[in-house]
A and B are shown apart, each in its own frame.
Chain A
Amino acid sequence: MRESGFTMHTTTVCRLKLWMTSAATWLILMAIANSQWVCGQDAASTLDAQQVIDEFVAGWDEGAWEQEFRVTPEKYMRASANEDWKLRFQAIQSLISLGSSSVEPLMIALDSDNVPLRILAAQTLGFLNAPQATDRLLRAASEDGHPAVRLYAIDSYAMLGGDVERLAAATSTEKNRDVKMHVNYAREREAQGFSAESIDSLKKFSIGQVDTARLGEPAPLFDLESANGGRVSLSDFRGKSAVVLVFIYGDT
C-alpha cells in the first residue's frame, strides 16, 4: 500500500505527542512546535480518512456486488435487505466530516483497482472543498474504465468549479448515454456545489439513526429545505395532522 509508510510514521508521532501531553512536558512540545515532528491536525485527520477508506474496502464484498448485479433483472431494485448502502453512507459521512484531510487519500483512491472504492472517491470529492482535485477528476472523467466512476467524476468536477469546456473536450469520445448526459448537466450547473446546509446536515447526522423507521415506533425526525423556499420539520405536524411521506425515486 502506497501510504503505509506515511501512516505508520504519523501514528508514531501522534502517540508521541499524546504521551508528551499526558506527561505535561509542554515546554518540549512548544520547542518543537514548528518542526515537522509535530502531529498537526491535517496529518492526524489523513490517518483517519485512510482508516475510513480501509474499513470501506474491508467491509465491501466486491464479488457479491458483481454477482448480484448479474442475477438481478434491471427492472428490479436491489433487495431492501441488502445492507451495503449503510457501509457506503457511513464512509461518505465520515470522509465529509473529516473535511479537507480526506482529499489526498481520496485522490490516491482514484488509482485503486477496486471499482466501488473509485466510485466512492469520485463522488465524495465533489462534497469537499477540494479545488486541487479538479485535474485528477478530469482525468478520471475521461479515462476511468468504469462508467459510474466517470459519471461521478464529471459531477464532482463541475461541483468544484472545474472548467466545463475542458470537460466537454476531454469527454468528447464518451459512448455511455448516462455519462454523456452528466456532461450536459455539468454545463448547466455553473459550479453550484452542494449547499453548506446539506453538508452541515450530513455532518451532524448520527449514524445510529440509519434505518430506524419501524412500524408502531416514533418516526425519525427531519428538518429539510423546501424546493419552494423555507424549511419543513416533521415535528411541525405533531398533534395537528397526520403526514404521508412520499419518497420519490432518484439517482444522485
Chain B
Amino acid sequence: MQAKLESLRGLNATVLAIDPHDRFSSQFLLKEAGLSTADLKIPLLLDAGLTASAAYGVLFQMRIHTEWSTRPATFIVDRDGVIRFIQRAKTFNDRPSVAQIIEQLKQLD
C-alpha cells in the first residue's frame, strides 16, 4: 500500500478518499475495523451532507440494508481541474486496479 502510494506521488498525483459518513459514524466504523484516524494513509474526506457524492453521481438507492448508499467510484482529475477518467462501480468490488490508475495518470501529461 505504502509503495503504491509512493509511486502515485512520483506521478504527481494526490489520492483523496471520500466517505459518505459523518464524523461519528466514520470513527465508529474505523474503530470496528480495529483502526483509528491515525492509521489513515490518505486524507479521508467526510461528505456527510452527500453533496460531493450527489455532484459526482455516485449516490444510489439500495433496499438491502438502507436506502441511501454511495457506490464505489474512481475519478481522475488533471492539474487543470478537468475530469480525465470515470469509473462508477456496478458491483461492490468493481474498482480499477492500481496499475490501471497509474496507466491513466501516465497518459495525463
Contact = CB atoms under 8 A, between A and B. Distances in A.
Contacts of B82: 216-219
Interface residues of A, number: 71
B18 A245 contact: yes
Interface string B66-109: 11111111111111111111101111100000000100010010
Contact of B61 (A78, A209, A219): A78
Interface of B: 8, 11-28, 30, 37, 40, 42-86, 88-92, 101, 105, 108
The 7 A-B residue pairs with the shortest CB-CB distance, nearest first, are A220-B55, A202-B49, A211-B57, A227-B44, A224-B45, A198-B48, A222-B52
A242 B24 contact: no
21 contacts: A77-B69, A77-B91, A152-B67, A188-B28, A195-B22, A213-B55, A213-B75, A215-B85, A218-B81, A219-B83, A222-B55, A224-B18, A225-B23, A241-B13, A242-B12, A242-B108, A244-B76, A245-B56, A246-B74, A247-B20, A248-B17
Given A76-B90, A242-B79, A210 B74 contact: no
A244 B48 contact: no
| Contact residues of A: prevailing secondary structure | mixed
A239 interface: yes
Contacts of B54: 86, 89, 205, 209-211
Contacts of A248: 17-20, 70, 72
A65 B40 CA distance: 37
